[in-house]
Structure 1
């Protein structure tokens, strides 16, 4: 059946009447009709697309047509399901690839940490064995870099939002003063007067500045002098100040005379080596124990630390301290070795949490980027800052004849 359309002139204000007239059919049952159809406004055709060369579809479909339509519909559904499964598999593959890449990244980072850790540990061991001015100058350089990182953290956005940081010239002057403290400790043996004078000068510089002085400036600066300058000086007192020879140390008998002979192995050298080893054991065993058994968070300051890892670090520190004490024959008492190991562990954890608190308030992950895979100097020496003071105080006050 064919039809033709008669369209009148288009008036934009009126709908378009369309007259459809059917051609006469041979069948007598068909009646010719002439009806007026109203088309919608032309603006409603804006979303329609004109398709050319499209064959007219019959008004009524045969049974075979309906069957073919069902087949096409089922085929389309099957394709859609297969595509969805393919997407799910691709997503699973993407997730697997991401997990593999994450593991590779962590493995590479761990490898980098181990390589640079060993590369730093060997020179540090040589510096500790050398002692004297070599040890002191190396410590002074570390203190200068660490104090610079500390004042950068104080001036960062995270901390500076709630306080007024000290002026830049004051922070630089404090970094220089902190680096001079270990040298003055070795030269004079005591720096109480020097620290007092330095604190007075810094406080006066803050009070007479042009801008309005703030208590936050004074408190952060004084803590910087104490944290970055005064506390590290106890390592000089421990390594170079305790010059009593450790006569029972077996390695001292075979030590070359050109390097000082048996007199080179003093109580200060043995105590420093044991303290350093205890700190390393604490960090290593706490990391391994936290990975294997960690379930209960230790504190909100450092969410990755757990009670299980901390307890493992304590056991490892005490075990290493006892082994080295037996090997180096210092201290003589087993109880003293356990107490020395416990103080080393406590100073290590307390120093680590203190630096974590500063970094958390500053809103940064690392104090710097000087050491690849480790961060800054403060990230590596934070566990040693309080340990030297505790070790020196314990030996001076609790060990009779320095534990010999």
Structure 2
């Protein structure tokens, strides 16, 4: 035992035990090495984002140079319009009637202003009144009343133009006056009457699904032609009318139209699958004719787009060019093919 009064000799201590302990990072804060890894990862991520953005902007610039359209705006506006149309037609008929009426009147206004800029005398207000009469009569009455409304509206705008010309006394020559009168009637037939065919189709049994189906096929035609023509297009289809349309794009439209037609006939319309081929090809024809027809009108007027109301797309009529004649074809196909539905 050790005497309590005896002094103790301190025992030697290990050097490691006396070495200072490095301070630990405060609670909740990463170590410096972890921060370094995070900064490196963030820097690499920012670099990849910049590369992706630069690549997308370069691709978008090439597309804009080739087609004259802004790809981002075109996609966003196209999706928004598609959602609006789908919601308006599926859940109730009256929103779609309001939509078609509003779009049809915008098309009348747009075409009238474009014709005015080319030197034609077009009276906008009478055109809007006549267009409203044609569009509303097609849904609320249909049948012979619709044809009467069309006749009345055409006569109304022509007579208005002739009276306005007599009141003007500006020395306009005979051929120009006749041209103005014919142009007035053409506006009524081209926009409100063709658009009203979609409302006539809507009134039929299962008409909602037929309207939706023909719109999907027309969109498939436009999309197939655009994508294929943009990536593979080499041979112009109608260079004097629309130099950017190619036969390769038309081939893509054929594939898209037939595929969409078969799927819609089978899954939505309850028709035999082979009727989808007829459905798709007929709408392909009318959509292509409508697209080229509007291109001829714009070339004759010396303009690129009917307006700039829809950025990335042009004007309202630039989106309706394929749909307007296709509405007539869709109504005819309804009468022809709907008896085959199971």
State the TM-score, normalized to the length of structure 1.
0.63
Q: Measure the CA separation in 2 of the matches of 1:106 and 1:390.
A: 36
Equivalent pair of 1:137/1:183 in contact (CA under 8 Å): no
Higher strand share goes to which structure? 1
Structure 2, unpaired ranges of 5+: 1-54, 65-69
Pairwise CA RMSD of aligned residues? 2.1
Aligned to 1:357: 296
**Among candidates 242, 262, 265, match of residue 302 of structure 1:** 242
Matched ranges for 1:334-353 at <5 A: 334-353=273-292
Aligned to 1:389: 328
Q: CA offsets, 1:166-214, max 9 Å, x none?
A: 24xx232112321332211111123101111122222222333323561
Is 1:124 the equivalent of 2:85?
Answer: yes
Equivalent pair of 2:217/2:260 in contact (CA under 8 Å): yes
Q: Measure the CA separation in 1 of the matches of 2:91 and 2:198.
A: 14
Q: CA deviation at 1:134?
A: 1.4
Considering only CA atoms, is the larger Rg found in Structure 1 or Structure 2?
1
Higher helix share goes to which structure? 2
**Among candidates 312, 317, 321, match of residue 257 of structure 2:** 317
Q: CA deviation at 1:351?
A: 1.1
Is 1:173 the equivalent of 2:119?
Answer: no
Q: Measure the CA separation in 2 of the matches of 1:289 and 1:333.
A: 29
Structure 1, unpaired ranges of 5+: 1-98, 244-265
**Among candidates 92, 95, 102, match of residue 141 of structure 1:** 102
Aligned to 2:34: none
Larger RCO of the pair (alpha carbons < 8 Å, separation 6+) = 2
**Among candidates 152, 158, 161, match of residue 113 of structure 2:** 152
Matched ranges for 1:192-211 at <5 A: 192-208=147-163, 209-210=165-166, 211=169
Equivalent pair of 2:133/2:153 in contact (CA under 8 Å): no
Number of aligned residue pairs: give it. Answer: 272
Q: CA offsets, 1:287-330, max 9 Å, x none?
A: 111122212111121000011111210111110111122222x2
State the TM-score, normalized to the length of structure 2.
0.74
Q: Measure the CA separation in 2 of the matches of 1:142 and 1:101.
A: 32
Range with greater deviation from structure 2 (211-220 or 334-343) = 211-220
Q: Measure the CA separation in 2 of the matches of 1:339 and 1:331.
A: 14
Equivalent pair of 1:147/1:228 in contact (CA under 8 Å): yes
Q: CA deviation at 1:156?
A: 1.9
**Among candidates 204, 207, 224, match of residue 242 of structure 1:** 204
Q: Report the 3-state secondary structure (helix = DSSP H, G, I; strand = E; otherwise coil) of the residue aligned with 2:313.
A: coil
Aligned to 1:225: 188
